[in-house]
Amino acid sequence: MTAVINATACGLIETARQHPDRIGKVLAGRDGILGALTEDLIDTSLETDADIARLKHTPGGAFGSCRYKLKSLDEHRAQYERLMQVFRAHDIGYFFYNGGNDSMDTAWKVSQLAQRMGFPLVCVGIPKTVDNDLAVTDNCPGFGSVAKYVATSMREAGYDVASMARSSTKIFVLEVMGRHAGWITAACGLAAEAEGEAPHILLFPEIPFDPEAFLARVQTCVERYGYCTVAVSEGLHAADGRLIADMGSQDAFGHAQLGGVGQIIAQLIKDRLGYKYHWALADYLQRSARHLASRTDLEQAYAVGVKAVELALAGRNAVMPAIRRLADDPYAWEVTVADLGEVANVEKKMPREFITPDGFHITGACRRYLQPLIVGEAFPPFRQGLPDYVRLRNQSVVRKLGEFAV
Q: Which residues are catalytic?
A: 131
**Nearest residue to 56 (alpha-carbon basis) of 14, 19, 85, 16:** 14
Residue 99 CA to residue 89 CA, distance in Å, equals 25
Q: Which residues does 244 contact at the CB level (< 8 Å), separation at least 6?
A: 209, 236, 237, 238, 261, 264, 265
* Size of the chain in residues: 406
DSSP 3-state assignment of 115?
helix
Distance CA 111, CA 118 (A): 11
Q: Are 288 and 295 in contact (CB under 8 A)?
A: no
Query: What residue spans of 90-179 are helical by DSSP H?
Result: 101-117, 143-164
Distance (Å, rounded) from C-alpha 294 to C-alpha 373? 7
Q: Specify which residues 147 forms β-bridges with.
A: none
Which of 167, 184, 91, 84 has its CA nearest to residue 133? Answer: 184
SS3 call for 249? strand
Q: Angle CA(40)–CA(79)–CA(26) in degrees, nearest 5?
A: 35
To 10 degrees, what angle do helices 77-89 and 101-117 make? 70
Quick one: CA torsion of 400, 402, 403, 406, rounded to 10 degrees?
-90
* CA nearest to 160, candidates 145, 150, 171, 149: 171
Report the alpha-carbon distance of residue 134 to residue 333 in Å, rounded: 17
Burial class (CB in 10 A: 0-12, 13-18, 19+), 219: middle
Taking the C-alpha atoms of residue 219 and residue 338, their distance in angstroms, rounded to an integer, is: 47
